Amino acid sequence: MSKHRVSRRQFLSYTLTGVGGFMAAGMLMPMVRFAVDPVLKASEGGDYVATKQKVDDLTEEPKRVDFTIKQVDAWYESEETQTAWVYKDDKGEIVALSPVCKHLGCAVAWNTDKSNPNHFFCPCHYGLYTKDGANVPGTPPLAGLDVYEHTTKDGILYLGAVKPHKGA
Ligand code: FES
Q: Which pLDDT tens digit goes with each residue over 90-121?
A: 999 999 999 999 999 999 999 999 999 999 99
Which residues are registered as beta bridge partners of 73? 76
Q: List the chain domain ranges.
A: 1-41, 49-163
For residues 57 and 86, the answer to whether their CB atoms sit within 8 Å is no
- pTM (predicted TM-score): 0.72
End-to-end CA distance of the chain: 76
Ligand 1, atom 1, residue with closest C-alpha:
104
| Reported CATH class of domain 49-163 | mainly beta
Exposure letters 2-23 (e unless 16+ CB within 10 A, then b): eeeeeeeeeeeeeeeeeeeeee
Tell me the one-letter amino acid at 46: G
Q: Is 140 in the pocket of ligand 1 (CB under 6 A)?
A: yes
Q: Is 124 in the pocket of ligand 1 (CB under 6 A)?
A: yes
